[in-house]
Structure 1
Amino acid sequence: MTKIPTELAVRQKSRVLDMTFDDGVSFSLPFEYLRVYSPSAEVRGHGAGQEVLQLGKRDVNITALEPVGNYAVKPTFSDGHDTGLYTFDYLYKLGSEQAALWQDYLQRLADAGLAGDSGRAPGAAIAGAPTKAPSCGHSH
């Protein structure tokens, strides 16, 4: 059954898309995460194995968010990307699987030897994402 958002809010200062669904579940999805996991053919390719690893999206913003019928939204990102239609089901999946998907992205960067190019270090936290455990903020 399709989950329907009852609230969607673009938070420019914290760079997250806050949403609440009709089942009461809420998510805060960082813009970078949304851009990296765009459902567009430009990012996903046209079949398995054709995905394009996204780099340098750390500071991306959402400049517009348009509704598409009663089933999706279409964000425009500050890097010009605007071809992904995020269905409500896909947004719910991104929220539900955020920690695992983000770790998968970081691992793919590391595997490609591109962690530095992305502006991220292996294991880096994403702004606005839930963390595994509280931290004092510095390395020991």
Structure 2
Amino acid sequence: MADSAQHVPTALTVHKQSRTLEIAFDSGEVFALPFEFLRVYSPSAEVRGHGAGQEVLQTGKRDVLVTALEPVGRYAVQPHFSDSHNTGIYTWDYLYWLGANQQQLWEDYLNRLVAAGFTRETGRDAPMLVEGRSCGDH
């Protein structure tokens, strides 16, 4: 499987302050993929389900961080996110596809959030709000 990758990275850089994973490919393309974008498009079964129509809309992920990035053989990486999600294996081809389609994928995600009645800050994983303040703001 390692030899089947069509897109091979030449550099991977985690930018904690800007919350992006920068990935450069041997073709010359460089993509800056926000952590939130990576998290909501995780290739894990938890996010994608086990078949068409089983996808789970990820909400409340605006502030998610990548806390670790582990290599998987010579064909992928496995990010660990601050919300404890760590089951997605991102192949080089999948990361390239995310980068090449980032604008359309992001617009699709934002439209799905709106259709479900959420914003990037709200959802089942976001802090509960009480009278306009998060529960921790007393």
TM bucket by the smaller chain? 0.7 to 0.9
Q: Secondary structure at the match of 1:103?
A: helix
Give the aligned partner of residue 13 of structure 1: 17
Counterpart of 1:119 in structure 2: which amino acid?
E
Distance 2:71 2:81 in 1: 15
Give the aligned partner of residue 119 of structure 1: 121
Give the aligned partner of residue 4 of structure 1: 8
Q: Tell me the C-alpha RMSD between the 2 structures.
A: 1.0
1:49-86 residue CA offsets vs partner (Å, 9 max, x unmatched): 00000011000000000010111000000000000000
Counterpart of 2:104 in structure 1: which amino acid?
A
- Structure 1 gaps of 5+ residues are 121-140
Give the aligned partner of residue 97 of structure 2: 93
Q: Secondary structure at the match of 2:28?
A: coil
Of structures 1 and 2, the larger Rg is shown by 2
Give the aligned partner of residue 106 of structure 1: 110
- Structure 2 gaps of 5+ residues are 123-138
Residue correspondence of structure 1 range 24-39 to structure 2 within 5 A: 24-39=28-43
Deviation at 1:47, TM superposition (A): 0.3
Q: Secondary structure at the match of 2:42?
A: coil
Give the aligned partner of residue 76 of structure 2: 72
TM-score norm. by structure 1 comes to 0.82
Distance 2:80 2:13 in 1: 14
- 4+ residue runs of structure 1 moved beyond 2 angstroms? none
Q: Secondary structure at the match of 1:56?
A: coil
Deviation at 1:9, TM superposition (A): 0.4
Counterpart of 2:44 in structure 1: which amino acid?
S
Give the aligned partner of residue 47 of structure 1: 51
